[in-house]
Copies of this chain bind each other. A is one copy, B any other.
Amino acid sequence: MALALHGGAGAISQQLLSPQRQEEYRQGLRQALTVGTKILTEGGTAMDAVSQTVVSLENCPLFNAGKGAVFTADETIELDASIMCGQSGAAGAVAGVKTLKNPILGARIVLEHSPHVFLVGKGADEYGLLHGAQQVPPSYFETETRREQLHTFQAENRIDLDHNDDAPQTHSPVNLGTVGAVALDQEGNLAAATSTGGMTNKEYGRVGDSPLIGSGTWASNSTCAISCTGQGEYFILGAVARDIDARMRYGGETLEQAAVTSLTEHVMIPGGQGGLIAVDKTGKVVMPFNSLGMYRASWTNLTGQSHVSIWKRSPSAGASTR
């Protein structure tokens, strides 16, 4: 059994994040890890573990998903999520939802009830409600921190590219933006889930990689489960999650080789920033990223130990895989 989760990768400055704030993030990550680990150790499924881990992260206002998500240019909040089951190969995804308390559960409803895989906009909200998803008023998602961010961005006439490389030093780390989880359960089944609020001040209905099966999320019992975070466009153009699967499936690479090589080739070399979490069928967990930091946590029953981190262990060592 194994569980890994992330709360976004990007230019997280160790200098600008106060010790108290750091502890709040670590607490949010630890709490989500506990939720998922408990499900797995009690014999629950990987699907339940990733769903509830992401629900915990969505409910935490620190992360850019669910409550605490960033505002669009229209001062609305539009949420995207996707989930995939490695056992069945089924998947569900939603984009642009505005009233589902937990978008990841909306994605799971699509997986379980719809003949379709991907629903967007008002229809995705309606479909979730029709199948019992908890509805909240749009104001539920709003936080003053995020509203101030929007106004700052608008005053600067800037669109946050979610994890912008050349963001000024005043770029608050709370702009960072995706959450996700991957799990291996005691039956040997894998699952992956990703959820996001997108970019601060986003316009033109931009959709990133988070709700896209094969880009931001992938799971197959034959290979691994993956959830990505970072500058979504790079992950779409590389179909990164599916690329990692393919490197293992057809190229015989290990999870670590596949994940690091794909991230390097499709994100780092073209000039992007991001990271991902992945677990293979043996319970091996990797969490590579090329940005300054990535909020992340993991647990496996091999060691029984939990692990919560924000920055690289050794900043000079290049792409970390833990």
Within 8 A of B (CB), among A235-254: 236-237, 239, 242-243, 246-247, 249-251
Q: A62 near B: Cβ within 8 Å?
A: no
A127 touches which one: B91, B120, B204, B251 (CB < 8 A)? Answer: B204
Q: From residue A133, how far is it (CB to closest CB) to chain B in Å?
A: 13
Q: Which residues of B contact A208 (CB under 8 A)?
A: 116, 118
Proximity bits, A123-135, B CB within 8 Å = 1, else 0:
1101100000000
**Do B213 and A116 touch across chains, with their CB atoms under 8 A apart?**
no
Within 8 A of B (CB), among A77-118: 89-91, 95-96, 114-118
Report the separation of the CA atoms of residues A203 and B119 in the bound assembly, to the nearest whole angstrom.
Answer: 9
Report the nearest B residue to A91, measured CB to CB.
Answer: B237
Within 8 A of B (CB), among A11-64: none
Q: From residue A179, how far is it (CB to closest CB) to chain B in Å?
A: 20
Q: From residue A252, how far is it (CB to closest CB) to chain B in Å?
A: 8
Q: Which residues of B contact A277 (CB under 8 A)?
A: none
Proximity bits, A117-159, B CB within 8 Å = 1, else 0:
1111111101100000000000000000000000000000000
Task: List the number of copies, as a whole number.
Answer: 2
A237 touches which one: B89, B161, B215 (CB < 8 A)? Answer: B89
**Do B120 and A233 touch across chains, with their CB atoms under 8 A apart?**
no
Q: Which residues of B contact A242 (CB under 8 A)?
A: 214, 239, 242-243, 246
Report the separation of the CA atoms of residues A186 and B250 in the bound assembly, to the nearest whole angstrom.
Answer: 31
Q: A174 near B: Cβ within 8 Å?
A: no
Q: A168 near B: Cβ within 8 Å?
A: no
Q: From residue A316, how far is it (CB to closest CB) to chain B in Å?
A: 30
**Do A124 and B236 touch across chains, with their CB atoms under 8 A apart?**
no
Number of A residues, CB within 8 Å of B: 42
Q: A212 near B: Cβ within 8 Å?
A: yes
**Do A206 and B123 touch across chains, with their CB atoms under 8 A apart?**
yes
Q: Which residues of B contact A127 (CB under 8 A)?
A: 204
Q: A205 near B: Cβ within 8 Å?
A: yes
**Do B204 and A119 touch across chains, with their CB atoms under 8 A apart?**
yes
Contact A236/B117 with A250-B250, A250-B251 known, Cβ cut-off 8 Å: yes
**Do A236 and B161 touch across chains, with their CB atoms under 8 A apart?**
no
Report the separation of the CA atoms of residues A212 and B118 in the bound assembly, to the nearest whole angstrom.
Answer: 10
Report the nearest B residue to A212, measured CB to CB.
Answer: B212
Contact A233/B117 with A213-B239, A239-B213 known, Cβ cut-off 8 Å: yes
Q: A207 near B: Cβ within 8 Å?
A: yes
**Do B123 and A120 touch across chains, with their CB atoms under 8 A apart?**
no
A116 touches which one: B122, B204, B239 (CB < 8 A)? Answer: B204
Q: Which residues of B contact A218 (CB under 8 A)?
A: 239
**Do A237 and B90 touch across chains, with their CB atoms under 8 A apart?**
yes
**Do A116 and B246 touch across chains, with their CB atoms under 8 A apart?**
no
Q: From residue A283, how far is it (CB to closest CB) to chain B in Å?
A: 24
A118 touches which one: B117, B123, B206, B213 (CB < 8 A)? Answer: B206
A-B contact pairs, 10 of them (CB 8 A): A96-B205, A115-B233, A116-B206, A116-B208, A118-B212, A213-B239, A214-B242, A242-B246, A246-B249, A247-B250
Across the A-B interface, the 4 shortest Cβ-Cβ residue pairs: A123-B205, A246-B246, A123-B204, A250-B251
